[in-house]
Amino acid sequence: GYHRVLEDNRKLYNQVQDLKGSIRVYCRVRPFFPGQSNHLSSVENIEDGTITVNVPSKNGKGRRSFNFNKVFGPSATQAEVFLDMQPLIRSVLDGFNVCIFAYGQTGSGKTHTMTGPKEITEKSQGVNYRALSDLFLIADQRRDTFHYDISVQMIEIYNEQVRDLLVTDGTNKRYPFTSYLVLLLVFSSQKGLSVPDASLVPVSSTIDVIELMNLGQRNRAVGATALNDRSSRSHSCLTVHVQGRDLASGAILRGCMHLVDLAGSERVDKSEATGDRLKEAQHINKSLSALGDVIASLAQKNSHVPYRNSKLTQLLQDSLGGQAKTLMFVHISPECDAIGETISTLKFAERVATVELGAARVNKDSADVKELKEQIASLKAALARKE
């Protein structure tokens, strides 16, 4: 009777949550560095989805708690962090768009989560590697019913310019810093927003992916100096395009996954920055504050959302407000002296968690639509030849 109704209600509620959903937010706390152990941690407690931090206040000590879908403490392993992301990966192969992005101040562990530490072992591989391995694994399990084509792009947004990270100079060495291209973002009803000029590289195994990611990392490091660590000032985005053909019906599914390692979220003191540093500070602030504005306006359900204010928000437009499944990893450093950034990061994340997405939608063409699209394309080509 009563319990049954409750149970049914809960099921319905969960279904609706799954369909509509908010942006899921996972928080991860970096461990102290070796030899740093007698530092006091700003993190007071982690329990279920709640993190409590100590906030210095006028009358001594204050505390503040924040709730997220999950909170990972300093001892969480890469495997644990990835553990319940498999449904998300599976849905890319079902034709959904998925976006996973890492936010936090420089040094808080964004690259560690997305890619891994400097020397990557199988155990320390980050989300990017694991997500792609899973894609191949699940695609293979479905080989009797689906044929999948998987390809990747890797771009960087630096000072509001979009660059291709998968370009080689032909000899497979890093290509010269000066030859970076400025790429355009283009919208098409088929692919959504994409970067048509960035190399789109077909991949068929985890080894292909590791090679490409190494190339991307090398290209990303070009131009970095001790004083100017580009990687902390640029956003990098690995995009995986998946196309699946249903072997029985011929229907085509199209899924896309963005894996984004954002620039450090710390506020750069503009009064002290000059020259290139000032330019960088202004551009990073532009992209990240544009992200903040987009989140705020989505959270308030405003009719106008200012996606166009930065390249980053244009790129993520489909994932933030649209029919995508979106997960944000927010990272915090445990040190007491980082508490200012920690609080502003947690407050930002709290706001992100309130954003409600539209119902996630499958990108699917039935065999008929596919045929019509091909006809249109060939008619267009015939027209173009006549002109």
Where do contacts with ligand ADP occur on this chain (CB under 6 A)? 30-31, 104, 106-112, 117, 232, 264, 331
Which of 295, 360, 257, 349 has the alpha carbon at shortest distance from 69?
A: 349
Residue 108's binding partner, choosing from Mg ion, ligand ADP, none, with beta-carbon cut-off 5 to 8 A by kind? ligand ADP
Is 108 annotated for ligand binding?
Answer: yes
Nearer to Mg ion, 111 or 363 (CB): 111
117 binds, among Mg ion, ligand ADP, none (CB under 5 to 8 A by kind): ligand ADP
Q: Which is nearer to Mg ion, 111 or 239 (CB)?
A: 111
- Is residue 105 a known part of a binding site? yes
Minimum distance between the CB of residue 261 and Mg ion, rounded to whole angstroms? 6
Residues 342, 267: Cα–Cα separation, whole Å: 12
Q: Whole-number minimum distance, CB 110 to ligand ADP, in Å?
A: 3
**CA-CA distance, 9 to 257, in Å (whole number)?**
32
Residue 121 labelled as part of a binding site: no
What character string, x for contact with Mg ion (CB under 5 A) and - otherwise, covers 58-97?
----------------------------------------
Q: Among all residues, whose Cβ is closest to ligand ADP?
A: 109
Buried/exposed 54-64: b ≥16 CB within 10 Å, e otherwise:
beeeeeeeeee
Length of the chain: 387
**Alpha carbon distances (Å) from 361 to 164, 256, 324, 364:** 29, 12, 7, 9
Residue placing its CB nearer to ligand ADP in the complex, 232 or 363? 232
The letter for the amino acid at 246 is: D
C-alpha distance from residue 212 to each of 97, 149, 181, 267 (Å): 22, 17, 18, 32
Residues 241-280 as x/- pattern, contact with Mg ion by CB under 5 A? ----------------------------------------
Inter-CA distances, 143 with 95, 131, 248, 345, 378, Å: 16, 18, 12, 43, 30
Q: Which is nearer to Mg ion, 105 or 363 (CB)?
A: 105
Nearer to ligand ADP, 193 or 288 (CB): 288
The residue within the footprint of Mg ion, chosen from 108, 111, 234, 310 (CB under 5 A), is 111
Kindly state the smallest distance separating residue 117's Cβ from ligand ADP, in Å: 4
| Residue 301 among known ligand-binding residues | no
Nearer Cβ to Mg ion, position 96 or 101?
101
- Shortest distance in whole angstroms from residue 161 CB to Mg ion: 19
Residues 340-379 that bind Mg ion (CB under 5 A): none
Q: Is 161 annotated as a binding residue?
A: no
* 114 or 203: CB nearest ligand ADP: 114
Q: Per the structure block, which two tokens stand in for 95? A: 């034709």
Give the shortest CB-126-to-ligand ADP separation in angstroms. 9
Residue 267: other Cβ atoms inside 10 A: 15
Partner interacting with residue 30 (select from Mg ion, ligand ADP, none; CB below 5-8 Å by kind): ligand ADP
CB of 217 to ligand ADP, least distance (A): 12
- Closest approach, Cβ 354 to ligand ADP, in A, equals 24
Q: Strand 146-158 to strand 201-203: parallel, antiparallel, or no bridges (unpaired)?
A: antiparallel
342 is in an annotated binding site: no
- Closer to Mg ion by Cβ: residue 281 or 324: 281
104 marked as binding residue: yes
Q: How far is the CB of 36 from ligand ADP (least distance, A)?
A: 11
Which residues participate in the annotated binding site for ATP?
A: 104-111
Which residues participate in the annotated binding site?
A: 104-111
Which residues lie near Mg ion (CB under 5 A)?
A: 110-111
